[in-house]
Structures are given as structure tokens and as C-alpha cells.
Structure 1
Amino acid sequence: MSEAGGRKLISIVVPVYNEEGNIFPLHEAVTAVFAPLADRYDHEFVFTDNHSEDRTFAELTALAARDSRVRVFRFSRNFGFQRSIYTGYIKARGDAAVQIDCDLQDPPELIVEFIRTWEAGSQIVYGVRRARKEGLVITAVRKVFYRLIDLLSEDRLPLDAGDFRLVDRRVLDVLRRITDDKPYLRGTLATLGFVQKGIPYDRAGRVRGESKFSLRDLFGLALDGILAHSTVPLRMATYTGLAVSVTTFLGIIGYVVGRIFFGASWPLGFATTTVLILLSLSLNALFLGIIGEYVGRIYQQVRRRPLTIIAESIDASGARATDATRATDATRATGATSSDAEQGTASIRPPGGAVTDATFPVPGDHHIVDVATRDR
């Protein structure tokens, strides 16, 4: 929150996975952006490490030793990009949070424009990609992806907007009460209301490392976006079933009329019968699959498993979260009583370590389990 001297705090949320070569360059670039703003704004870094397999966490540890504004949360495994951002938002302490990718494809200089637009009254400020230096295939797939979600969604989602955005504290507080098992933050934020504005920019190419987002990941993200914000696929199943039923009924009537009045019979042929049967089976399988996707998401949601598990963390405070602290945080986030929050605690044994008390999800606690805070 705002510093004692009246300066506002901006949290820079950075999800990382195998980005060892980009940690220090990103830190330097963002720090340079805030240098002229030091009289009005302070900033912190919130790195969420999705269990990187290279030296990313070692680089983050070294960076945190040099800069007390750096906070690091390392997950027990890779929980996915959207959950990583979500956890960063929950851990952010600022009056606003800016999410930026570690690869520097999104220009840190645009943060100044984000802040200016935020101060003018917008609660959500997002970047809109005019151009991006990627292959033609992946660029075309992304464009189709955004427009498909917008077409099928029951909510209007901004086109060509990624996750480079600023989110006001009031919006972050609302996010604390949302417990989607498969969060799709672009859609979730777009549906919350508030004053939102897009800022166009050109996205640069990668200088170091390689993208961790494959076509398969993009397809999965598209599926999450559609199923999280639309019941159109279910309605398609209903409408298609209705159309097939009507067509079948009309066909039966036509056959009966032709048989009675004209002596006509249905043309014989194994191929025709086989095609009709296969078409029927294919439609059934397709729409059962769609229904299964929705049912599967309901099943995952009611299981209330953690969205993320923080196995190791580095924080400037150097304080380890206690049961009382976690209960207080849960109470503050949800408006529940202290006893309600306390009922969300349980014991977890980290690999090779002692039993550690951790908070399991209570309503609004975001399914984030923190089992370790590492002192400086």
C-alpha cells in the first residue's frame, strides 16, 4: 500500500519459468523506468517461479540479496502460467499491480503510460498488441484464438490484449474472492466491470531464451477461455440435437407419405446407412466430449485443491507466516470469522522437512498454500 511518505506502491508481478538469462535485464529495465518517478511512486517485484528447471531461482535469490524490494515465490511444481499470474496478484502489496513477462517483449517503458491512465481514473489498463515479431503461423493462430473466444463468449473481451496490464488495488481485492480452478484472467478481468482502457503498442521479439508457450498451450488456454466464459458449446449441442431430430422427423413423415401415396420406398444401400450411423455417433461423441469438459471443470472446482503450492519464498520482511497470520489474512480477505479461517489450516510435510502448518482453501482464500517462507 501507499508508503508513509505519501508515495504509492506499484507491484511488478513477473511469472517466470526457465528465464535465467532474463532476470537481471528485466530488473534493470523496470528499475530504470521507475527512477524518474521515485518522488511519487515506490515499487516492489513479485516473482512467481513456476518450478524452473534451470538457474532461474538461483538468479532470483542473488537478485533478492541485492534488492530488498524483490520478493520471490517458488512453486512446488509447474502449476501453469495463469495460476502463476494469479498468485502474483494475491501476493502483491501495492496500490496497483503491473504484470509483465520476463522476456522483455512487452516494453517496460509503457508502465509509465499505464500509471498515468490509472491516475486518470481507469482501474484496469491493458496493452493491446498492434504488431508482434513472431512467425506468421503463430501470429495467425493467436488472432484466430482471440476472435474465437470473443465470438463464443457471452462477455465482450478485448481483442489482441495479452496479460501485460495494470490492475488497481480494488480489483485485486475482488480477485481475492474468486476461486476458479482454471483461471483465465483476461476474461475474468474483462467481466468484472470497473473502468478499463487499452493502450496500443508494438510487441518486440525475444532477445534471450525461447518461448515456453507452445501451440498446444495456446489451444489449452483457448479452451479454458471459452469454457470459463461461455455456455455456447452446450447450446450448440442442444441446437444440433434439435435440428437432427427435426430433420429425422421430417424424413420419417416424407417416407410414410411417399410410401402410402406414391408407393415409393427408401433407396437401398449399405453406404447410405453406414454414413448416417457414423454421423450420428460422431455427433454424440463430440457433444458428450463438450459436456464432459464442463463436468470435469465442475469436478475439479468442487475438489478444492490448491491452485498453487509455494514451496520456497524469499521476502524482504524475513518473517515466516504463522497460523495466526494466515487466519487473519483469510478473515480479512473473506469477511469470515476467525474460527472460520482457523478451520482452513492443516499440516503439510515438505520433502525432507518437518511438518509445517499451512492454510487449505477457505472461501476466498484462493487455493494458495504457502508452506515455506525463506528468511534473508
Structure 2
Amino acid sequence: MTLISILIPALNEEDNVSTAYERVKAVFADLPGHEFELIFTDNHSTDRTFDILTGIARSDPRVRVIRFSRNVGYQRSVLTAYRAASGDCAIQLDCDMQDPPELIPLMLAKWREGHQVVYGVRRSLPDGPVVAAARRLFYALITWMSEDDLPRNAGEFRLTDRRILDELRGIEDHSPYVRGLISGMGFSQVGFEYDRQARTAGTSKFPFRAMLSLAIDGMINHSLLPLRIASFISLAVGLLTFVLMAGYLFGRLIFGQDWPAGFATTTVLLLMSITLNAMFMGILGEYVGRIFMQAKDLHRPIVEASLNFGGAEEVAAPRAARRVARSVQAAE
């Protein structure tokens, strides 16, 4: 029997959580040989979302719920869900059902072909023309800037193999960009096109400010290009300074320009000091950028409550570590 983990982050989605549960359950009713666990991560909703999830979890032990003590942000909420998944693979869905769960069989078929990641490529978007254009511009920009192979027009709708789930368990990142983390791991990754649906109910909990923050995280977490731009600018300023210095000296020595006493010397020294500072700051920035990519702030979201887990410690403990502990106990 193959166990599939379905990961659904939720924030004030009281109108959608029951629909999401019913639609996922209906899909797996037609998938013989498959079991599912449905992991909701409640990002400290202030409406009835957690109460509804509590009722669902009490009636169906396959539904597992993680509620955070505060809003930890979409990406950290999602990363926690990936860490808590115990299935042979995990599939992330949006609670508003814009990514239709009816495509799960297609994703599983591609997974069985040997692909460790199967992601949906948005052929069309229900957003307005301005938001849709902004999304596509971001995808193009992050693809150009990043050293990782980030797929264009691919969102959070993806299947991830157990091997990658275990790798995600060992990642500590205060500002994760999960899409980039998974893409950067490599393995065999394949996409499929689909039409994104409109929300089943409610309004988007991902405003422009959140999208902008996600874009900044994506560009900074997976590219040193901003630092390199700073280095290139410093070199350009240095070249300009050299030209100005040559001009001052040429004018003084060849044409005998009567500059005010100390003017040329002060100007040259000032420009030289600015140039050296800019160049060295650029060099330091390159090293700081590599340190930043290697070791980031270590902060875990706090789990306020968990349903159908063994406890909050089971949510946080790496699966591999639990396996090792069981092996040691068995050996003893």
C-alpha cells in the first residue's frame, strides 16, 4: 500500500477546509492501492478554521493538523508540513482548490515513471491581467538570476519524492523559499501544464505585500547577482574615477590649468578613497553572500497544537533521526 501525504497550508480558510478535505478524499476513493494522510498547517487562523479542522481530525484519523502559535509566514508553514510528512511522497495543494486535486493521479503516474519531483506549470491564471503579468515577470526574473534550475510559471502545486522529503528534514532556514530549495536539489524533475482554477470560496490571503516578500526571498536566497551588481558598479565607478584623475593630471601638466591650490589633489584623493571603499565593500559582499548562503539564522516555528500526531515533538523531530533511534533500541 502506497502512502501519499497531502500538504495543505491554511490561513483563515473556514469556507474552504471542508471542501478541500472532501475533494481529496473523493480522489483517493478512486485510487486503489493508495492511502493518504492529509496534513493541514494552520497558520494561526483567527476565524473558525482550526475548530473545523479539529472536528474533521476527530472523525478521520488520516487528517493531521498542525497549528502554529503565531503566523510564521507561508513558506515556513509549508516547510513544516514537508518535514511532518511520512508518506512515500508528498503533494502540496492550496486550500482554496485553485490547484485541482483531481490531477493527483496524473502526478502519481509521472512519479512512477521515475521522476522525484512532478510540478504543475500554470498554463493560465484566474488573476487579473496586472497580477498575472507580475507573476510571469517574477518567474522570468528569478529564472534569469538564480543559479538553480527554477521552472518558469510553476507554483507550489507539486509532488515530492520521499528522498527529497528526507533532505528537507535537515534544512534549517529562517526565511526559506521552498520552491527554490526543492528545485536546487536536482534529481529528475518534470512538469505538466494545467489551467489554474478560481478560488472555491473566500478571498486570497496572499496580498501584494506577501507576493513581493516572496519574490525578494526567492531572488536573495538563490542568487548572488545583487552582490555582483554592487561589485560591477564599484568597478565602473573606479574606472570613471581613473578617467577623472587622468583628466585632472592631464589638464594640470599639459594645459597648465590653474586649479585652486590643493583642488586637484583633494579631489583625486577623495575619489580614490570612495572607489577603494566601494571595491572592498563589493569584495566583502561576495564573501558575506557565501556565508549567508551556507549558514542562516536558525529559528523553528512553534507548534501550539497538533492533532493526530504523537505530539509536537513528532512534528519537529527529523524522520531519519527517529529511524536511527528505533534501530538503536532494536539493537539493544
TM-score of Structure 1 vs Structure 2, range by shorter chain: 0.7 to 0.9
Whether 1:13 aligns to 2:16 is no
> What's the CA shift string for 1:282-320, capped at 9, x where partnerless?
x97xx89x96xx77x949x655222x11111110x6x44
Is residue 114 of structure 2 the alignment partner of residue 101 of structure 1?
A: no
Measured at CA, do residues 264 and 334 of structure 1 come closer, stay the same or move farther in structure 2, by a change above 3 Å?
farther
Corresponding pairs, count: 311
Contact 1:94-1:169 at 8 Å conserved across structures: yes
1:23 is matched with which residue?
17
Cα separation, 2, equivalents of 1:309 and 1:209: 27
Secondary structure (helix, strand or coil) at the match of 2:101 reads coil
Q: What letter corresponds to residue 110 of structure 1 in structure 2?
A: L
Counterpart in the other structure of 2:41: 48
Within a 5 Å distance, the mapping from 1:231-310 to structure 2 comes to 231-263=224-256, 298=292, 303-306=297-300, 308-310=301-303
Structure 2 distance, partners of 1:138, 1:151, is 20
With over 3 angstroms needed to count, the CA separation of the structure-2 counterparts of 1:209 and 1:36, relative to structure 1, is: same
User: d(CA) in 1 for partners of 2:226 and 2:12?
Assistant: 36
Q: What residue is the counterpart of 2:50 in the other structure?
A: 57
Identity fraction in percent: 47
- Structure 1 239/333 Cα, relative in aligned 2: closer, same or farther at 3 Å? farther
Contact 2:6–2:36 under 8 Å retained in 1: yes
Equivalents in 2 of 1:211, 1:130: separation in Å?
Answer: 20
Deviation at 1:18, TM superposition (A): 0.4
For residues 131-177 of structure 1, give each alpha carbon's deviation from its aligned partner in whole angstroms, at most 9, with x where no partner exists.
Answer: 10111111111111111111111122100100110001111011111
Is the Cα contact below 8 Å between 1:177 and 1:333 reproduced in 2? no
Residue 331 (str. 1) matches residue 321 (str. 2): yes
Residue 263 (structure 2) aligns with = none
Task: Check conservation: 2:118, 2:190, Cα contact below 8 A.
Answer: yes
Provide the aligned C-alpha RMSD in A. Answer: 3.2
Question: Residue type matched to 1:152 in 2?
Answer: M
The answer to whether structure 1 residue 219 and structure 2 residue 212 are counterparts is yes
Q: State the shift of 1:28 in Å.
A: 1.1
Name the one with the larger helix percent: 2
Distance in structure 2 (CA, Å) of the matches to 1:90 and 1:110: 23
> What is the SS of the residue equivalent to 1:200?
strand
**With structure 1 as the length reference, what TM-score do the two structures score?**
0.75
What's the counterpart of residue 156 of structure 1? 149
Aligned twin of 1:36:
30
> Which is bigger in relative contact order (C-alpha 8 A, separation at least 6)?
2
- Go from structure 1 to structure 2 and tell me whether the alpha carbon gap of 1:42 and 1:133 turns closer, same or farther (over 3 Å shift): same
Alpha-carbon shift at residue 333 of structure 1 (Å): 7.1
Give deviations 1:48-92, integer Å, cap 9, x for gaps: 000001000011011112212100010000001111111111111
Alignment correspondent of 1:135:
128
Q: Is the 8 A contact 1:9 1:44 kept in 2?
A: yes
Query: Equivalent of 2:305, from 312, 320, 324?
Result: 312
The letter for the 1-side match of 2:55 is: A
Partner of residue 71 from structure 1, selected from 64, 81, 86 = 64
Alpha-carbon shift at residue 112 of structure 1 (Å): 1.0
What amino acid does structure 2 have at the position aligned with 1:245?
Answer: G
How far 1:334 moved relative to its partner?
8.4
Query: Contact 1:255 / 1:265 at 8 angstroms: preserved in 2?
Result: no
Query: Which residue of the other structure, out of 229, 237, 240, is the alignment partner of 2:222?
Result: 229
In structure 1, distance between residues paired with 2:184 and 2:106: 23
TM-score by length of 2: 0.84
Secondary structure of the corresponding residue to residue 26 of structure 1? helix
Please state how far the C-alpha of 1:114 moved relative to its aligned partner: 0.4
Structure 1 CA distance for aligned equivalents of residues 223 and 136 of structure 2: 19
Find the aligned partners of 1:242 and 1:233 in 2 and give their Cα distance.
14
Secondary structure of the residue that 1:109 maps to in structure 2?
Answer: helix
| Preserved CA contact (<8 Å) 2:40 2:66 | yes
For the 8 Å contact 2:172–2:299, the answer to whether it is kept is: no
**Cα distance, 1:217 vs. partner?**
1.0
What's the offset of the Cα at 1:108?
1.0
Give the secondary structure class of the aligned counterpart of 1:32.
Answer: helix
